[in-house]
Amino acid sequence: MVVIVALAGSAYAADKPTSYAERVQADQPTRYWRFEKTGKDDKPDFTVDGGGVVLNRDGGPRPAGDAGYLDFDKSNLAVNFTRHGGRLVVKDPGADSDLDFTNGDEITVEAWVAPQVGVGSGHMYVIGKGRTFDKGFSRDNQNWAFRLTSESGQLHVGLLFRAAKNKSEDDWHRWTSDQAITADGHWHHIAVSYRFGEPDSVIAYIDGRPTRGRWDMGGPTTDAPIVDDAPVWIGSSMGGGASFRGMIDEVALYRKILPAKTLQSRFRYEAVPDRYAERTTNDTVRVDIVEGVPARQWPQFMPQPTTTYTQDTMAFTKIANKYNNRGVIADRSSAIIIRAYTRMTLPPGEHELLLRSLGGARLYIDGKQVAATKLPRTGGGAHGNVPAIVEPPVVGMRYLQLGHDEATVRFTSDGKEHLLLMESMAGGKVRIEIGELSVSTRPVTEDGDAMYHLLTAGGKTAPPFTDAGWKQFANAQHQHVQAVNTKLRHAAEADELRYWQQRHADAKRAIESSPAPEAPATKSDKFVRNDIDRYVNARLDEADVTPAGLIDDATFLRRVTLDVTGMVPSPSEIKQYYADAPAERRRLLVDRLLNDPRWADHWTAYWQDVLAENPGILKPMLNNTGPFRYFIYESLLDNKPIDRFATQLIMMQGSRYYGGPAGFEMASQNDVPMAAKAHVLGRAFLGIDMACARCHDAPFQDVDQRDLFEMAAMLKRSSLTVPKSSSIPLSGAALRKLIVEVTLKPGESVAPNFPFGQLLAKGSDDSIAKLVRDKNDPRDRLAAIVTSPEDKRFAQVIANRVWQRYIGFGIVEPVYDWDGRKPSHPKLLNYLARELMVSGYDMKHLARLIFNSHTYQRAIDGERAAPASEFKHLFAAPMRRRMTAEQLVDSMFAISGKSMNCEKLTMDLNARLSANTFLNFGHPTKSWEFVSLSNERDRPSLAKPMAQTIITTLSAFGWRESRQDPLDVRDPTPVVQQPAVLANGILTQRIVTLSDDSALTRLAIEAKSPEALADALYLRMFTRKPSGTERAAAVKVLADGFDSRLRDVAPVAGPVKAELPFMVSWSNHLSPEANELKLDYERRVHAGDPPTERLAPQWRQRVEDLAWAMINSPEMIFVP
């Protein structure tokens, strides 16, 4: 063995210790384990057990040139515990040994540790005596233990022992430090000292800093610990449980309390110089996201950033995401630091700099700290007081928001360039939240009325720190961070992208090795624009049915824009469309729309339903998932191949609470979550509905309960036991009377297996095996099977979904359950599936084929396309489709030109709680971003009045607040709530009100005549000009008072007072004042947007009445 063990009394020749080991030996430890290579004759005092223990290979704390851990040799080694259960075992020499401690004995334990990055929760033993579960000893014989305890990603130093009485749980005594280290890839020195029997004597040291703590289990005690001859284990305990993962070095045990000065001197680290000044320019703000830092304290040395990008302004409402090597959103460490720096040049003279932050922040100028904000409170209940509103230093400035702090510093500028650095903490035990983080400046004036402006680099226009200025900045940053995320995502997934490109190339080569079937001939090419029409028209010819004619240009523009973007076309899009040559107009429009990022918005809403994305804004409820909507959206934004999308969803990697596909894995309060996921995936990608199979064999489908549980076991990556709750609780005699069968018994174990082998081509095992990247992972195998080109069902199901979405009726119906169903056009289905596969599983390729087809561009024919029509399967005409809830609401906002302007969708505005308790969905800008407000408690203080006005309209038209189960096609049945909401709803009133932020107001002011205004309104609302009758009716409403409609409105004297901030959050929502504030806000929301004063009220109301009538027209809510 190759480890040196230096015992107490070891000779030490040097007069002045210089190396780390010499200094430790000078303090005469009882035992000292260095884990260095030793000579052949040197035998360590331990043995290796449990596996995964690596000696003589990995480096311990070492210097790196003039930096690093300078007290160590550059070849210093450590022990690496790579697997759970690995340990080093030190035998106890016998009774009253140097390893035994009892009352009155003093102990100091110290070690260097480098925990594995990403370790989970729980306890990790560094070293301890007893509690090994060895035969012949009590299982609770913990004489002493030196551990790390993980809490919210922070690793606290701990001391644990069992009292000799050993009679109850109260005889366990655990002390945990207040301060902590992080698993950040760095080495940390930790130590603890204690005099047994004197509970106040305990103290720990972390990286040279003393820290107190608390007796958080069993309380302080003067009782003696249990003592026996059990061994000492390094790296594990409890028979291999509570194991350390990572590296350990320089473990020393003393039978005395070392002086504080000694333990403080152990940690000496020379940080790599922070060269941010060298990276700073004057034309941009550089942003570094630093991970692996302690929570709520500034690190002793600043780690290197994990993410770096640039922006224009020294302000934040959000930061860029982190991505793993598969290109999906990944979790950052629990605590992070945001650093932003630039070189600023202010005009000569006195200036004030204002720092605002939600987390603790500090500001440096030329390397000197000049301002800092306080750390916010965390945790707590719901009975707090509503804080007083802090008046801003200048009228019109944006108010300090709830939970934020600010600090001001004066700076005398010499007109030269100065280095500015801002740092802010986020996360820890609470959700990573940025809030409104900013640095702003203003010149010092005699009257003190100068407005602050956000500090902006490179001489760019600085937004004023007003509500309007902040909104302008926030909108710009949202777009900028989205672009940054795209770059970061593509950089992270470079290798993954090459893998999928090769995989698709191989699939294409294999598919094209067989000639493509030839499209059938048709009687006439009059109704043919591509091969889709040939397949469709061949069936029409057989049935002797003539297809409907083509729609006109205006109808096509509205239909395809709604289908791609989920919104009606804007006036500029209409203008661009008609500027194109008529012969190319439609094709060019399709190409433009398929490059529009709103494609992602519209499809995200669809997949949220299909995949039962069901996050909760307020504490997890039944079948809540994580917010994997952001994974869906980014996948669609990138036009990610659908087989790769499905694979990543099945693998469920990345972040659970911040938008990665791991959020799909969640199914809170579900007894068999993977069975729920197997059900969703079966419907979505295989056309197999296994809903009934949760508790019994399906009576009307060829699906057994075992099928569902075998697929669920693949997702679980291990055998699955059937719980009692997933079976019918009846006796055998009672079961026999039912029409269903129960072939799985509660408690039966089901092994991972793909139960639908009939979907796969014969002899496909080898080709599928090549797609499995981890041969030992059943989940990986399931992903490979489902998305393999050998599984034609996957491509057919996706093609059928796209077809149904755009034509209104699937080739196979229902789209989610193909059992016993035959396709109406099998050759068309095969053609579309082949096109999808050959294109690299590109859904946009299918969409382009469909949009350019005559079949899609046909006029709606009620008789030919009615649900009960004998022709409905022939696609002689598309079915009439009502707008989805998202299309309707997003189109209403697009028509009005107004922003949603609703509250931030979180109950925890001041970010006091963790992500697994409260999520933050931000300020929505599109309908898919909404979430259930979960106010079943009916507490006014928890209400989101503005958001509720939008959700009420969405819900009336089929949007679901709760998506506990998948849904593929929403119920199109009209209900009385729909016209009622459109006619009388607060949202409609807001949309039609001609307020100063309304596009309709601008139309009314700028119109040259009533006729021009009527034309503009029809174009904006219905994508067409009015008919003669419609124009005449509109002009009749608009003409009276048109010439005198404009009013001279005097400008407001002085700055406009900013809007008061929301001061109600979960932390104070039970206070009476919180209810009063929220009820007052609700009254203001229900009163609607204030109308403009630039138009005569009576005439303005007539325009609003006309707009209201148009919104309530059937033409508004149906896709033409």
Domain positions in the chain are: 20-266, 276-491, 885-1119
Find the helix packing angle between 467-492 and 494-512, rounded to 10°.
Answer: 60
Give me the pLDDT at residue 739, please: 57
Residues near 331 by beta carbon (within 8 Å), at least 6 away in sequence: 322, 654, 655, 656, 657, 658, 660
335 with 428: CB under 8 angstroms? yes
923 with 478: CB under 8 angstroms? no
Give me the pLDDT at residue 304, please: 86
Rounded Cα gap, residues 992 and 986, in angstroms = 10
Q: Does domain 276-491 have CATH number 1.25.40?
A: no
Domains 20-266 and 276-491 share a fold: yes
> Given the structure tokens 């994305």, which residue do they identify?
613
Residues near 810 by beta carbon (within 8 Å), at least 6 away in sequence: 800, 801, 803, 804
Rounded Cα gap, residues 800 and 808, in angstroms = 11
The phi, psi pair for 864, rounded to 5°, reads: -75, -30
The phi, psi pair for 59, rounded to 5°, reads: -75, 145
Is the bond preceding residue 814 a cis peptide, omega within 30 degrees? Answer: yes
Rounded Cα gap, residues 1028 and 147, in angstroms = 84
768 with 790: CB under 8 angstroms? yes
3-state helix, strand, coil in the chain (%, to 5): 35, 20, 50
Which amino acid is it at 309? Answer: Y
174 with 159: CB under 8 angstroms? yes
Measuring CA to CA, which residue among 132, 149, 148, 157 is closest to residue 228?
132
Tokens of 12: 């030490």
Rounded Cα gap, residues 806 and 969, in angstroms = 12
> Where are the strands (E) in 98-197, listed by range?
106-115, 122-129, 144-151, 154-162, 172-182, 188-195
Residues of the chain with pLDDT under 50: 1-14
Measuring CA to CA, which residue among 197, 205, 244, 241 is closest to residue 223?
197
Q: Distance between the two ends of the chain, CA-based, in angstroms? A: 80
Measuring CA to CA, which residue among 782, 957, 811, 965 is closest to residue 874?
811
Which amino acid is it at 102? Answer: T
Q: What angle do CA 70, 71, 76 make, to 5 degrees?
A: 95
Give me the pLDDT at residue 37, please: 82
Find the helix packing angle between 885-896 and 598-610, rounded to 10°.
Answer: 150
Tokens of 1013: 């205004």
Give me the pLDDT at residue 738, please: 57
Rounded Cα gap, residues 341 and 280, in angstroms = 7
Give me the pLDDT at residue 361, please: 98
Measuring CA to CA, which residue among 654, 674, 671, 670 is closest to residue 662?
654
The CATH number of the structural domain formed by 20-266 is 2.60.120.200
